[in-house]
Amino acid sequence: MQYEAVVIGVSAGGLAALSGILKELPVDFALPVIIIQHRSREERTLLEEVMQAKCRIRIKQADEKERIERSVVYFAPADYHLLIEKDRSFSLSRDMPVNFSRPSVDVLFMAASEVYGDRLIAMILTGAGKDGAEGVRAVRQRGGLTVAQDPEDAFFPDMPRAAIETGCVQYILKPTELKNLLLNIGGK
C-alpha cells in the first residue's frame, strides 16, 4: 500500500510522547505528518519551536492554503480547526469547538479521510477526553490504517481508550512500535 499522509491526534501528555517519535524521523521522511496537539488558545508558535529544537525533520505550523509537502511535520494552529482540501492544501476554520476542542482531532481526521481514503495512517496518542474517536471511525470506514497508543503506556489513557472502544483501531502499540511503524512506512 502506498500511503500518502500521516495524521496524529494527541492531547495532554503529548509533548513527551510526540518528541519521542518525531525526533526519530529522518529529514527526508517520505510522507507529510499532520498533527493536532491540543494547545492553549493564546499560544502562537511555541510548540513548533520547542519541537523543532529536538528534531531533524522540518516542523512548522500549518498555514492557510498551504500546499501539503512530504518530509514536513505540520501542527494545527491554536484556536483553529484544520481541514484538508482535495488539492492537498490546508484550510482553517474557526467554527465551534468539537469535543470542547479547537483544533479538534475529529475534524482533521474526517477531512483527511475524505481526501486520502485508504492512503491515510491515523494515530491517537495520549490525551484526556475522547476527541479523535469519531475521526478514527471515519478513517477506518474509508480503509485507512488506524493506530492507537497503548493506554497502559499513555500518560493520559482516555483518548486512546475512547478510540479503541469504537472498535475501529487496528493496532494498539507501544511508543517504540509507533516509531518503528512510521520508519517502516516512510523512513526508506
Partner 1 sequence: MGDELELKELLESIRFVYGYDFTEYAAASVKRRIDHFMITNKFNSLKTLGKTLLKEDGFFEQFIQEITVNVTEMFRDPPFYKSLRENIMGRLATYPFIKIWIAGASTGEEVYSLAIFLREKGLLERSVIYATDINQKALQTAREGIYPIRNMKAYTENYIKAGGQHSLSDYYVAKYDSVLLDRSLRQNIVFAAHNLAADRSFNEFQLISCRNVLIYFNQDLQNKVIDLFYESLCPLGILALGNKESLLFSDRKGKFEMLDRKEKIFIKTD
Task: Return residues touching partner 1 (CB under 8 A).
Answer: 42, 44, 63-66, 77, 80, 83-86, 91-96, 107, 110-111, 114
Residue type, 169: V
The DSSP bridge pattern shows strands 145-149 and 120-124 to be: parallel
**Phi and psi of 146, rounded to 5°?**
-120, 135
84: number of Cβ within 10 Å: 23
Query: Residue 26 in 3-state DSSP?
Result: coil
Say whether 11 is catalytic.
Answer: yes
**CA–CA gap between residue 27 and residue 68 (Å, rounded):** 16
Q: Which residue, 28 or 64, is less far from partner 1 as judged by CB?
A: 64
How many residues in total does the chain contain? 188
Determine whether 2 is exposed, middle or buried from the number of CB atoms within 10 Å of its CB (0-12, 13-18, 19+): exposed
The single residue of 11, 101, 104, 113 carrying the catalytic annotation is 11
Q: Which residue, 105 or 182, is less far from partner 1 as judged by CB?
A: 105
Q: Which residue, 141 or 176, is less far from partner 1 as judged by CB?
A: 141
The single residue of 38, 101, 106, 113 carrying the catalytic annotation is 38
Nearest approach, Cβ of 32 to partner 1 (angstroms)? 16
CA max distance for the chain: 40
Contact 137, 109 (CB under 8 A): no
Say whether 81 is catalytic.
Answer: no
CA distances, 139 to each of 55, 66, 101 (Å): 28, 23, 19
Nearest approach, Cβ of 97 to partner 1 (angstroms)? 9
Q: Which residue, 59 or 182, is less far from partner 1 as judged by CB?
A: 59
Nearest approach, Cβ of 82 to partner 1 (angstroms)? 10
Nearest approach, Cβ of 104 to partner 1 (angstroms)? 11
Say whether 118 is catalytic.
Answer: no
Nearest approach, Cβ of 106 to partner 1 (angstroms)? 11
The single residue of 81, 106, 113, 131 carrying the catalytic annotation is 131
Q: Which residue, 42 or 167, is less far from partner 1 as judged by CB?
A: 42
Query: Residue 122 in 3-state DSSP?
Result: strand
What residues are labeled active site? 11, 38, 131
